Amino acid sequence: MAQTVRDFVNDSYQLISSSSPTVPLHGNDQSKAVQFLNELLSSFSGTGLLITVAREVDFVMSIGQQNVTFADPAIYPSADVTAGRLANLQNAWLLLEGETYPLVDESRNVFFDSYKYDPQEGLPRFCIITNEVNLTRMRVYPSPSQVYQLSVYGKFELLSLSINGDMSTVSNYYIPFLRLALAKMLSRYKGRSQAWTPDLQQDLKDATEDMQSVSSQNLAIQSDHDSYLNGSWRVKAGV
């Protein structure tokens, strides 16, 4: 059974209350913790870097539909797909009568600078992603001339939590990292900065690296060796 949000918040507070871990919370302790918890979920999952597992969602597109929106229903209830804001698209395709039609992820600037801007209907071949404040908008081009099933494989922002809810929407591997991250934020805002020790900071660093190391995105920085030096050597060498 998933841990309740209330118990998760209490665990985070106990990390920064080692001298008196059983002291009950009071005032706005819980409400502030839930606020910060949701801010962390949005921040850490906004780019998809710290969501290590991508998943597939399906949506039925109607004839002539140009856009599909992805969002958290608690924030944007009218979204087409309520799996959360699409943070990182890895693949998208259409399905019609058992046939699969892959979509090409096209740059938004390239799309709007080309003839593709003119509305047409037919077999959709391209998808264009636009990230907005609380949602992601996917435009398909051409718009479908038949009813297709749209399948999207990618990483979605984690959904908002409430104090009376549970942590079932947050994967178990994410919990240790998130508990430490919330404790660090609470220590600053609740006057417990001294309780955030170097050992806790190291634990958070280790947990962050563990999250990044299993991400399906390549986080390695591939740099041209020439960039290790400043520009003066180019002038001297006549490059």
CA distances from 221 to 151, 153, 214 (A): 31, 24, 16
Residue 234 belongs to some domain of the structure: no
- If asked whether residues 33 and 60 sit together in one domain, one would say no
Residue 68 belongs to some domain of the structure: yes
Residue 15 belongs to some domain of the structure: yes
Helix (H) / strand (E) element for 45: namely helix 29-45
User: Are 152 and 89 in contact, with CB atoms under 8 Å apart?
Assistant: yes
71-85, 141-155, 184-198, range with the lowest pLDDT:
184-198
- If asked whether residues 110 and 76 sit together in one domain, one would say yes
Extract the tokens encoding 111. Answer: 């799309």
Q: Which domain holds residue 106?
A: 55-156
Residue 14 belongs to some domain of the structure: yes
- If asked whether residues 111 and 121 sit together in one domain, one would say yes
CA–CA separation, 156 and 17 (whole Å)? 33
CA–CA separation, 198 and 175 (whole Å)? 20
b/e string for 159-180 if b means 16 or more Cβ within 10 A?
bbbeeebbbeebeeebbebbbb
Domain closes at, from 110, 128, 156: 156
Q: Specify the pLDDT at position 24.
A: 65
- If asked whether residues 10 and 43 sit together in one domain, one would say yes
CA–CA separation, 195 and 200 (whole Å)? 9
pTM of full prediction above 0.85: no
Residue 223 belongs to some domain of the structure: no
- The total domain count for the chain is 2
Is 238 a residue whose pLDDT tops 50?
A: no
Q: Specify the pLDDT at position 121.
A: 86
Residue 229 belongs to some domain of the structure: no
DSSP, collapsed to helix, strand or coil, labels residue 112 as: helix
The string of pLDDT tens digits covering residues 211-224 is 777 666 554 545 45
Residue 125 belongs to some domain of the structure: yes
Q: Specify the pLDDT at position 149.
A: 96
The string of pLDDT tens digits covering residues 63-111 is 999 999 999 998 899 999 999 999 889 999 999 999 999 999 988 888 8
Q: What average pLDDT does the segment 27-53 reach? A: 83
